[in-house]
Structure 1
Amino acid sequence: MNMKRLRIRLSCLLLLFAGVSLFSFTRAQAPLTIEQALDIAEENNPDLRAAKYNLERYQYNLVAQRASLKSRFSLDLTPINYSRSRRFDERLSQWYTNETLTTSGTFMVSQPILLTDGEVSLINTFGWQDNQSTVEGMDNRNRAFSNDLYLRFNQPVFTYNRRKMELQQIEFDYENAGIRYALQRLNTERSITNQFYSVYMAQSNLSISKEELANTEQSFEIIRNKVEADLSAREELYQAELNLANAQS
């Protein structure tokens, strides 16, 4: 019983393998269209792939450069800053102890200016401080909040617009990469079209040669029958044999 099941399983596996092999062979023998050949060339042609990757690289560079022209937000925090100092005051001959606990942060919004290569920033510095000092056993303590809001403008002078020049350079590089990719694709299409035309001409010539061979064989049979019936000269048979040999070569 087990041997019978094993044979059935092996038979199923063999049939499955044969079906997959036949399907793969059928797909491998299927003729390609020009569109399919172009898709395959676009995926496997090294020059075309290099041109495409170069185009994508410049595209991402352009996106990154344009993104750098947008407003930037930054937040810098110092959660805890503790300091303790003890000093001796020579004038009063007293020890002075000071403890400070602070927390602070800086929020900044910066906007680059493409026209002048400048930058305008809105900055807000805020914090909280707990200060305690001790002199001869007497404690003095102070707690306070602080906030400092101001506007800053930075403008380079006596120089060229670096930001604008970089953007234009990346735009030109991206445009050139697009042109090179289009030319490479057109060159690939031309090469594939020429190859398809060569195959088509070879197939057409083969069909014509087969038709000529069939006509020559038919003419040879007719002439041979005529010669055997003494209706034509044997020289015509020799000429027909020569024509048949030329058609078969």
Structure 2
Amino acid sequence: MKPSLELLALGVGVCMTVGTIGAASANPVPTQDEPESSTSSISSKPPAPVAPPLTLGANHDRDGDPTPPFAIALTPRTVAQTPPVAKPTPAKPTSKTAQGTPSPRPSAPLPTTGSPPSPSTPAPSNPTPQPPSGSTPAPQTPGTGGANQIVPTPPGLDPAANRLQFPTRPGEVQVRNVQPITLQQALELAERNNRDLEVSRLQVEQSRAAIRQARAANFPTLALTANLSRSGNVFISQTPSFSQQLAGIDPNSTSTAFNTGVQLNYSLFTSGLIQAQIRATERQSRSLELQLEETREQVRLTVSTNYYNLQNADAQVAINEAAVRNAEANLRDSRAQETAGLGTRFDTLRAEVNLANAQQLLRNAQATQEVSRRQLAQVLSISETATLTTADPVQPAGSWTIPLEDSIVLAYKNRSELEQQLVQREVSQAQIQAARAENGVTLNLVGNYNFQRSGTTNTSTNNADSYNLALQARWNLFDGGATNAVISQRERDREIAEARFAQNRNLIRFQVEQAFSNLQANLANINTTQQSVAQAEEALRLAILRFQAGVGTQTDRISAEAALTQAQGNRVSAIINYNLALAQLRRAVSNLSP
């Protein structure tokens, strides 16, 4: 009779549970933890002007089951967690069921409000450009630190001052400091420590020294020379000649001579050669400055991309941890039902396989997380003993209010790649002028002053001095066509710069349009995935209740858990992809004020 009573109690519990669920679905009653909301009131509520922040956290419901680590908080710029929602209370059976525990909540909180407000970004259709009011409006995006503003960074992250130092012991590369940083701090560290930026800065300094070298040709050069010599016979003596005898000169004596002089050279006229070389060097220096600007913008994009990838990796780890906890709870329920005779060994095996798959996905996510951490650390060039984690919550990083057409025009104005090709064209033109001046007339002023002191062992010391002042002119009449060949090469360089200008212009427009389209698509995906997460949470809650009541299958529960995990991952991916598209759009336009 005891099994019959338990089955009767189970049937009564199922009926009352289903009735309670139906009544709750038809007439939802707000609880203390859940504010009143309805579909009609949600649809009529105007959207907020800011993006809803997506925060990371972990809660536990009333039964101790963990809730998923992601909760939508509708308060802007705050890290909040959605309060747990009251569970539907099924009718208590007259006797204990095989499970013997209250029906747990799904491992994800139910939405407490309607669909979250969408960020103030452009609609999927291209917005109408605003009338210009004297200047192009700045995008409503947060500051990015780095070269634009100074952000304090955590201590202990800067690398060693000696660039040539490398560790030789394992303890010197052991990670002992796990430091959370914000995106602003990461950008500031990259501005200070990134090696690509350091090389670009050194190249700019090198080019400025080259300018000083080229300008030095406008000044005269003054050189001091000196010569000291001593000569004489070693083994063989010479017989003096008749003239030497008359002059009293001994050819076997030792002589000493000292010569010193000053030489002055000054180019009076070079047919514009020096001016053309200076102009070419200055434009090359400007090209390297623009290259530094391009490198800085690209490093900022790389840092932002790696930071968002690390955020995504952290989020995927948290999602898979919640999936493992769901699979463990499912396995406990399956074993309990198998022990009570209400389940089968097949259901238990399926739950074990589901748990093993979830654990494998978690390990893969943790490996990706570690790789993302080291990738960010490599770009920031931090200390060997430190690694990084993200401190910013996973939330939309801002909005873009500039229309597409204005964004393209602004990119044409701001991108250093276009100006760099124009500067390279000017370099080629200056080199052409310098090559033509090589065949022109040059006029140089040369002055010399010499002083000589000499003497032998048999004669007294003699002193003498002299000077020389001359004008030297030079004109190349024929060089075998070498100058014309050089000019032809530089003309081709000029045409190449023009072709690359057109190529970069087309590429810049494509980059702006691509990032703009991705931004709009991911904005729509954020709104869609937030709804799908709420639906997946409710589906999992019902699947758990049906499975524990004996009217649902384990396949339904496993499918609902997988759907919830996928929905949470899609929501995080949509936000991360939105932020990536925003960073790419800022890079495509470049040089935006914070």
TM-score, length basis structure 2: 0.23
Structure with the bigger percentage of helix = 1
* Bigger relative contact order (CA 8 A; separation at least 6): 2
TM-score, length basis structure 1: 0.47
Structure with the bigger percentage of strand = 1
Q: Which structure has the greater CA radius of gyration?
A: 1
